[in-house]
Chain A
Amino acid sequence: MSAVPVNRSSEPVAIGDLAAAEEAAVAADVRRSTRSRRMRMWAARIGTLVIIIGGWQLLTSAKIVDPFFWGQPSGIVKQLNNWVQHGTEYGSIWEQIWVTFKEAVLGFVFGVAAGIIAGVLLGMFQFLADVASPYIKVANAIPRIALGSLFTVALGLGAPSKVALAAVLVFFVVFFNAFQGVREVDRNLLANARVLGASKLAIIRHVVVPSALTWIIASLHVAFGMAIIGAIVGEFLGAQKGLGLVIASSQNNFNPNGVFAAIFIIAVLALTAEGLIGLLERRLLSWRPRSQSEAVGA
Chain B
Amino acid sequence: MAVASTFAKRSRAGRGVRERSGAAQAAQIQLTGVTKRFATPSGSLFTAVRDVDMTIEPGKFCAVVGPSGCGKSTTLTMVSGLDRPSVGTVSVGGKPVDGITAGTSFMFQSDALLPWKTVLDNVALGPVFRGVPKKEAQAQAREWVRRVHLVGFENHHPHQLSGGMRKRVSLAAALINEPSILLMDEPFGALDVQTKAMMSNELLALWEQTRPTVIFVTHDLEEAIALADQVVVMTVGPGTVKDIYDIDLPRPRGAVQEIRFDPRFLELHHHIWESLREEVERAYARTAKPASANGGQS
Contact residues of A with B, CB < 8 Å? 186, 188-189, 191-199, 202, 206-207, 210-211, 213, 285, 287-289
Which of A196, A199, A285 touches B105 (beta carbons < 8 Å)? A196
Alpha-carbon separation in the docked complex, A188 to B113 (Å):
9
Q: Are A189 and B130 in contact (CB under 8 A)?
A: no
Query: Closest B-chain residue to A284, C-beta based?
Result: B116
Contact residues of B with A, CB < 8 Å? 77, 80-82, 100, 102, 104-106, 108, 110, 112, 114-117, 125-126, 128-130, 157, 159-160, 173, 177
Name, among B104, B110, B112, B173, the residue most crowded by chain A CB atoms within 10 Å (CB to CB).
B112
| Chain B residues within 8 Å of A207, by CB | 114
| Chain A residues within 8 Å of B82, by CB | 191, 194-195
Q: Are A287 and B100 in contact (CB under 8 A)?
A: no
| Chain B residues within 8 Å of A206, by CB | 114, 117, 125, 128-129
Query: Closest A-chain residue to B109, C-beta based?
Result: A188
Alpha-carbon separation in the docked complex, A193 to B102 (Å):
13
Query: Closest B-chain residue to A213, C-beta based?
Result: B116
A-B contact pairs, 26 of them (CB 8 A): A186-B112, A188-B112, A189-B112, A191-B82, A191-B112, A192-B106, A192-B112, A193-B125, A193-B129, A194-B100, A196-B129, A196-B130, A196-B173, A196-B177, A197-B100, A197-B130, A197-B177, A199-B129, A202-B129, A206-B117, A211-B116, A213-B116, A287-B115, A287-B117, A287-B157, A288-B115
Alpha-carbon separation in the docked complex, A207 to B114 (Å):
7
For the complex formed, measure the closest distance between the CB of B172 and the CB atoms of chain A, giving whole angstroms.
13
Query: Closest B-chain residue to A198, C-beta based?
Result: B129
Q: Are B157 and A195 in contact (CB under 8 A)?
A: no
| Chain A residues within 8 Å of B114, by CB | 189, 206-207, 210
Name, among B128, B129, B160, the residue most crowded by chain A CB atoms within 10 Å (CB to CB).
B129
| Chain A residues within 8 Å of B81, by CB | 195
Which of A186, A196, A211, A288 touches B125 (beta carbons < 8 Å)? A196
What are the nearest 4 A-B pairs in CB distance? A192-B112, A198-B129, A287-B116, A195-B106
Which of A186, A195, A287 touches B104 (beta carbons < 8 Å)? A195
For the complex formed, measure the closest distance between the CB of A205 and the CB atoms of chain B, giving whole angstroms.
10
Alpha-carbon separation in the docked complex, A213 to B117 (Å):
13
| Chain A residues within 8 Å of B128, by CB | 202, 206
| Chain A residues within 8 Å of B125, by CB | 193, 196, 198, 206
Query: Given the interface contacts A195-B82, A287-B115, does A188 sit within 8 Å of B108 by beta carbon?
Result: yes
Query: Closest A-chain residue to B102, C-beta based?
Result: A197
Query: Closest B-chain residue to A186, C-beta based?
Result: B112
For the complex formed, measure the closest distance between the CB of A261 and the CB atoms of chain B, giving whole angstroms.
44
Query: Given the interface contacts A188-B108, A210-B116, does A195 sit within 8 Å of B80 by beta carbon?
Result: yes
A-B contacts besides A211-B116, A287-B159, A288-B116, 10 pairs, CB < 8 Å? A189-B114, A191-B108, A193-B129, A195-B80, A195-B104, A196-B126, A197-B130, A197-B177, A206-B114, A206-B129
Q: Are B100 and A195 in contact (CB under 8 A)?
A: yes
For the complex formed, measure the closest distance between the CB of A39 and the CB atoms of chain B, giving whole angstroms.
33
| Chain B residues within 8 Å of A186, by CB | 112
